[in-house]
Amino acid sequence: MKWMKFRIKTIVDAEDVIISTLYDIGLQGAQIEDKVPLTALEKEQMFVDILPDGPADDGIAYLSFFVEEKEDGSLELNGSSTDKDAVAVRIQEELEDLRLFMEIGEGTITVAETEDIDWINNWKQYFHQFYIDDLLVIPSWEEVKEEDRDKKILHIDPGTAFGTGMHETTQLCIRQIRKFLTEETELLDVGTGSGILAILALLYGAKHAVGTDLDPCAVEAVAQNMEANGIPAEAFWMTIGNLITDKAVQDKVGYECYDIVVANILADVLVPLTPVIVHQLKKGGVYITSGIIDNKEQTVREAIEAAGLTVIEVTYQGEWVSVTARKE
């Protein structure tokens, strides 16, 4: 199997934002190369006690994305055929847009062909069970320890879809969902990915959940994670399509049906999503947003208020922000 590798030279501070941005155009499974020392938690998750001293952190980072190459030399991205030049141009456009409001360093792209990269599975050696407050998150390839069997456990296998729970934006959403969840909660998860937020809501007692996503890979990932967590098929269904622009998707999801709508998406997507999603919320329903880099907080707040929603809480973790609002 052949893959086309797109390698971006950037800076450490821009890693998360670039990965999230390029995920939205269909590039997934980012490989990160930098000289940032591991934290104590990261060493614990990797089962590493002592590492040799590495080179000093120079702030430079390389991000690599792999796209499968077909027999005819074309590439498949988001279910459509394209070529390496078109992908490189799209990446460059996204990087230049980011450069308008943040430092991204050199922002150069190199493209190379490689073979037999099992990038879907190789990263598993670095993803181990961890806690989000009192919730244990454990991947499908690890066993629950005897001492943890009485804990609330979320079994998650992100597969090829985004979302393990390790990222700050996901954790911000999880905490907000738990605050507002009841046994009668109908929840809509926009950009559901691996299904982690909707599945977690059901584990904590939500009545029903619906997910939407642009990536067809999310369907299989969600199905696997539902099975791993014992979620019955009737409790959670999802659809593929663009909720912002596709009236058929909006109709399928339904109007004024949801007590909670959660969207862990970039600010630039939340802005056009919000005036649409307000129609899916019940009166009194709660809108939980995340994926917002700190310097975009005001932009999202303004979009939420312009849609007629009332901001009721803003929470922070690292450089990321979650804005929660209510439909009066």
User: Which pLDDT score, from 0 to 100, does residue 126 have?
Assistant: 57
**CA 289 to CA 300: how far, in whole Å?**
9
**CA 159 to CA 67: how far, in whole Å?**
15
**CA 19 to CA 217: how far, in whole Å?**
18
- The DSSP bridge pattern shows strands 186-190 and 208-213 to be parallel
- Of 159, 172, 166, 229, whose CA–CA distance to 200 is shortest? 229
Give the residues across from 81 on adjacent strands: 76
Compute the C-alpha angle 312/188/178, nearest 5°.
50
Tens-level pLDDT at each residue, the chain (328 residues): 678 889 999 999 899 899 888 888 888 778 888 776 655 544 433 333 334 455 667 889 999 988 888 888 888 887 788 889 999 999 999 999 999 989 999 999 999 887 655 555 665 665 666 777 888 888 777 777 887 777 888 887 655 444 555 678 888 999 999 999 999 999 999 998 888 899 999 999 999 999 999 888 788 888 988 998 899 999 999 999 999 999 999 999 999 999 999 999 888 899 999 999 999 999 999 999 998 888 899 999 999 999 999 999 999 988 889 999 999 9
User: Which pLDDT score, from 0 to 100, does residue 48 have?
Assistant: 36
Quote the pTM value: 0.65
